[in-house]
Structure 1
Amino acid sequence: MEINEFEQNEKLARAKKQVKELKGFYIHLFVYILVNLFIMSLTVMARMNSGESFNEAFFNFGTFSTPFFWGIGLAFHGARVYHFNPFFSKDWEERQIRKFVEQEQKEADKFR
């Protein structure tokens, strides 16, 4: 009975941690949108006041540089929260573990 209660507490702790991470990501996303809209608006207005047309001011790398680079960080944050890792997935980890165990077994068999 005590083991089952321990497992339930572990599951609850993991769920709370996941919700906290998800909430952090949503806050990050909300701040990203608000701040970048503000920065882009200021950038476009400043460029238009200096004589550029709206298209020249808006379609400029400087207007999108902050959202672009911050967006890369936001994408990594989202990937971590949603457990997306295309390079080192659980399958990859299991294959590597099996490979090393088999390799050690072969080396141990050589000395028998």
Structure 2
Amino acid sequence: MEKDEKYLRAKRRVQNLKAFYIHLVVYILVNMMLFVINLSSDAGNWWFIYPLGGWGIGVIIHGLTTFTSGKFGADWEEKKIKEYMEKDK
């Protein structure tokens, strides 16, 4: 029973890390798009910095609450689950 709890806890941590990476990628892509739109519509008025800064604060907070590092790949999730389970021993 305890092993199942460790597995679920580790899986939850991995899901949180995965969610952070997805959040970061979406942040970068959307803000790149907003930058291009800003350049093509009104290059003198740099309005794209407002969503960049506001959303950036959210990404930083999300990253600080995640406190992990790793590379996102095909076997990454299982590798992280095993890593967290080993730390829990």
TM-score, length of structure 2 as denominator length: 0.68
Which one of 18, 22, 43 corresponds to residue 17 of structure 2?
22
Structure 2 gaps, min length 5: 69-89
Aligned amino acid, residue 79 of structure 1? L
CA RMSD of aligned residues (A): 1.7
Higher normalized helix content (fraction of residues): 1
Q: Which has the higher contact order (CA 8 A, sep 6+)?
A: 2
Structure 1 segments, 4+ long, off by >6 Å, are none
Q: In the comparison of the two structures, how many residue pairs are matched?
A: 68
Structure 1 gaps, min length 5: 1-5, 49-55, 84-112
1:29-44 to 2 correspondences below 5 Å: 29-44=24-39
Identity fraction in percent: 38
- Aligned with 1:16: secondary structure? helix
TM-score, length of structure 1 as denominator length: 0.55
1:1-112 to 2 correspondences below 5 Å: 6-48=1-43, 56=44, 60=46, 62-82=47-67
